[in-house]
């Protein structure tokens, strides 16, 4: 009986062991996006591109991606992925840890960044190692006189980099000519044929959200894809910030207490929490029942819990300041949409900063119509988080839920029309549902801002469509008017016995300001239309080119000089633009240029004026 009990006990005894972070992700690579060969290629490209863009904080980014085939066998295809950038580079002594050790990253600060968990690049390298057993090559320089080159592998069980080889190369002697940046090359198993549509879509959307970046991609067949920058302005870099009292928990408070050098609670609150001044700190401590002069290191455990709970419930803390964020801004977002989608109409809108759980965030939105916007049976949505595209799992995202809830027919559009909604969320903490960083969670505060923003750009599109149809009808009437008005004047003169017909210029005028004009890379002025006599101006532009789009801007001359009346708009190949202007302007002129470098268009443009 005793023997049987011992056997039973031995069979139910569990063996406990500790595994390293690298070992955990090796066993659970699916949670980081490496679920199948196609998704593995996409995720590896995405993670390395994100790292390159994050590294270019103050320099206009140049990112080069090359995916080349290593060959294939009966079981799998293998590739070499090389990504090079001109970013800040990695300090020489930190290269092995930055790319060969899990949970060692520059992302663990309270600051907006594309990466969130600090493991994407290392995870891609680990996946390559476990599928090909080949090391990663890393070349980097921070602009010093030395360029470091490493060949690394990851010790999965110990979560440590293994340096296979290390070389130091001389950089250029002149500081201005020194190379700076990072090159990462590793091998991995995957299926590019299946991943290609998603990879190309990801790069296109990345170019929309980063119009100031040059992105070059060479695929395994040698095909070159270039996404050239169209603007030389970058958004301001994000700044580190302090935790907001509404977003902290007991563990965060304990960590701050362990590190603080302040010896009273009044100074402690002001030094370690976002937007807490002396008066706010004093009121909060009074409400929490904690004396101002208490040493934070002498707080008992139950007092720390009381402190953390009090911060969450105290209503007089100022909301977080969004100056630590780096949104795209309306101009850059518009430039990105015009560059990649060449729409007939685009409206952009940036919401005011808001917060959820003490985390500041800004929602930026755009709606594009016509041009090269794809037509879908459903609403086309582009989602971005901290300037990176989210291209998988769209239907599980809060953006999809909100856009689908809108009655689009109220805005004169419906599924099947060429329009797209772009939603960009930037925050110090993006509310992802999963480690794969593809799905935004349904946070009420975020959802409310997205909904209001979508409604705003949808209203602008509805106004444009209504105005476009109205102006089109008016232009058709004007064509009849311009044809018969001189004949009516001539007939009236003869009927009245006048020697010459009356002048009709004060009533109506038309001028062909562009005729078969071939656009270039720079904006060119049209002929000037004298509009001083007229209250209403009609602009009609036709792009006669079969393939290339053009950008048109309308300017009016006032007492203070030329003023933008219609911001730059894209007229796609073979399409027309109708616009109406009201008010008194001395003169009207158009500016035209090619939408893309060295892609000329052919423009005809008329300006009509009518007086009351």
297 and 391 in a common domain: no
**Gap between the Cα atoms of 319 and 315, Å rounded:** 10
**Gap between the Cα atoms of 303 and 265, Å rounded:** 12
With CA atoms as reference, report the closest residue to 190 among 306, 72, 290, 105. Answer: 72
- Tokens 């290593």, located at residue: 70
Residue 371: which pLDDT band, with cuts at 50, 70 and 90?
confident
373 and 255 in a common domain: no
**Number of domains comprising the chain:** 4
**Is the pLDDT confidence value at 108 over 50?**
no
111 and 217 in a common domain: yes
For residue 174 the two structure tokens come to 């002149």
Distance of CA 476 to the CA centre of its chain: 41
**Gap between the Cα atoms of 26 and 450, Å rounded:** 37
Average model confidence (pLDDT) for the chain? 85
* Burial zone of 264 (CB within 10 Å; 0-12 exposed, 13-18 middle, 19+ buried): middle
Q: Would residue 509 count as lying in a domain?
A: yes
The CATH number of the domain holding residue 597 is: 2.60.120.230
As a whole-number percent, the residues of the chain with pLDDT over 90 amount to 38
List b or e across 179-204, with b for residues whose CB sees 16 or more CB atoms inside 10 angstroms: ebbbbbbbbbbbbbeebbebbeebbb
Of 227, 260, 276, the domain-final residue: 227
Summarize the confidence of residues 389-400 as an average pLDDT: 88
Distance of CA 432 to the CA centre of its chain: 16
**Gap between the Cα atoms of 165 and 331, Å rounded:** 46
For residue 492 the two structure tokens come to 């009236």
**Is the pLDDT confidence value at 484 over 80?**
no
Summarize the confidence of residues 190-217 as an average pLDDT: 94
- pLDDT per position as a tens digit, 272-283: 888 899 999 999
For residue 500 the two structure tokens come to 């010459």
435: containing domain: 346-464
Quick check: helix, strand or coil at residue 236?
coil
385 and 292 in a common domain: no
- Helix, strand, coil content of the chain in percent (nearest 5): 35, 30, 35
> pTM, whole model, 2 decimals?
0.78
366 and 438 in a common domain: yes
Contact indicator for 83, 63 with CB cutoff of 8 Å = yes
398 and 289 in a common domain: no
- pLDDT per position as a tens digit, 43-56: 999 999 998 998 88
Of 227, 257, 288, the domain-final residue: 227
Q: What is the H or E stretch that residue 126 is in?
A: helix 120-132
440 and 585 in a common domain: no
- Tokens 């300037």, located at residue: 387
367 and 425 in a common domain: yes
**Gap between the Cα atoms of 144 and 166, Å rounded:** 17
429 and 518 in a common domain: no
Summarize the confidence of residues 394-407 as an average pLDDT: 90
Angle at 403 between CA 397 and CA 407, to 5 degrees: 150
- pLDDT per position as a tens digit, 126-172: 999 989 999 999 999 998 999 999 999 998 888 889 999 999 999 87
């Amino acid at each position: 009986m005793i023997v049987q009990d011992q056997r039973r006990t031995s069979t139910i005894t569990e063996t406990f062991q500790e595994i390293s972070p690298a070992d955990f992700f090796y066993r659970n690579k699916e949670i980081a996006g490496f679920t199948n060969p196609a998704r593995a290629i996409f995720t590896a490209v995405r993670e390395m591109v994100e790292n390159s863009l994050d590294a270019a904080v103050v320099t206009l980014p140049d990112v080069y991606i090359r995916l080349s085939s290593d060959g294939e066998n009966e079981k799998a295809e293998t590739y070499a992925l090389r990504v090079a950038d001109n970013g800040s580079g990695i300090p020489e002594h930190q290269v092995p840890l930055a790319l060969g050790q899990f949970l060692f990253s520059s992302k663990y600060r309270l600051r907006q960044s594309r990466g969130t968990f600090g493991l994407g690049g290392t995870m891609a390298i680990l996946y390559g190692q476990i599928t090909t057993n080949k090391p990663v090559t890393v070349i980097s320089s921070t602009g010093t006189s030395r360029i470091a080159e490493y060949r690394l592998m990851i010790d999965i069980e110990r979560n440590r980099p293994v340096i296979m080889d290390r070389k130091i190369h001389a950089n250029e002697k002149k500081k201005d000519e020194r190379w700076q940046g990072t090159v990462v090359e590793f091998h991995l198993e995957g299926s590019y044929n299946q991943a290609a549509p998603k990879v190309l879509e990801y790069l296109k959307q990345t170019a929309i959200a980063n119009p100031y970046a040059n992105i070059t991609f060479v695929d395994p067949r040698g095909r070159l894809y270039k996404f050239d920058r169209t603007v030389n302005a970058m958004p301001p870099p994000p700044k580190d910030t302090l935790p907001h009292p509404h977003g902290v928990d007991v563990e965060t408070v304990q960590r701050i207490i362990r590190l603080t050098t302040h010896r009273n609670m009044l100074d402690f609150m002001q030094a370690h929490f976002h937007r807490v001044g002396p008066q706010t700190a004093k009121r909060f401590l009074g409400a929490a029942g904690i004396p101002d002069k208490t040493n934070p290191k002498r707080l008992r455990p139950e007092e720390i819990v009381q402190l953390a709970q009090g911060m969450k419930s105290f209503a007089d803390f100022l909301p977080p300041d969004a100056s630590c964020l780096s949104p795209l801004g309306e101009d850059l977002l518009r430039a990105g949409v015009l560059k990649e989608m060449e729409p007939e109409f685009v409206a952009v809108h940036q919401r005011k900063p808001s917060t959820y759980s003490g985390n500041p965030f800004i929602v930026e939105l755009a709606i594009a119509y016509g041009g090269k916007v794809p037509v879908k049976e459903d609403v086309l949505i582009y989602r971005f988080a901290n300037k990176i595209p989210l291209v998988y799992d769209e239907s599980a995202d809060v953006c999809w839920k909100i856009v689908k809830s809108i009655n689009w027919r109220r805005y004169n559009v419906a599924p099947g029309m060429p329009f797209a909604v772009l939603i960009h969320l930037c925050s110090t903490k993006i509310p992802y549902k999963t480690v794969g960083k593809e799905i935004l969670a349904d946070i009420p505060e975020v959802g409310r801002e997205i909904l209001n923003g979508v409604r705003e750009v949808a209203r602008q599109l509805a106004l444009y469509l209504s105005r476009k149809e109205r102006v089109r009808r008016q232009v058709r009437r004007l064509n009849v008017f311009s044809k018969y008005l001189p004949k009516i004047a001539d007939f009236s003169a003869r009927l009245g016995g006048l020697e010459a017909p009356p002048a009709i210029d004060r009533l109506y005028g038309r001028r062909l300001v562009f005729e078969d004009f071939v656009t270039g890379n720079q904006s060119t002025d049209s002929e000037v239309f004298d509009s001083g006599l007229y209250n209403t101006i009609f602009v009609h532009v036709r792009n006669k080119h079969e393939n290339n789009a053009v950008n048109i801007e309308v300017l009016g001359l006032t007492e203070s000089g030329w003023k933008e009346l219609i911001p730059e708009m894209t007229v796609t190949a073979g399409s027309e633009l109708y616009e109406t202007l009201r008010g008194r302007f001395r003169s009207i002129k158009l500016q035209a240029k090619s939408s893309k470098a060295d892609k000329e268009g052919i423009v005809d443009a008329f300006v009509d004026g009518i007086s009351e």
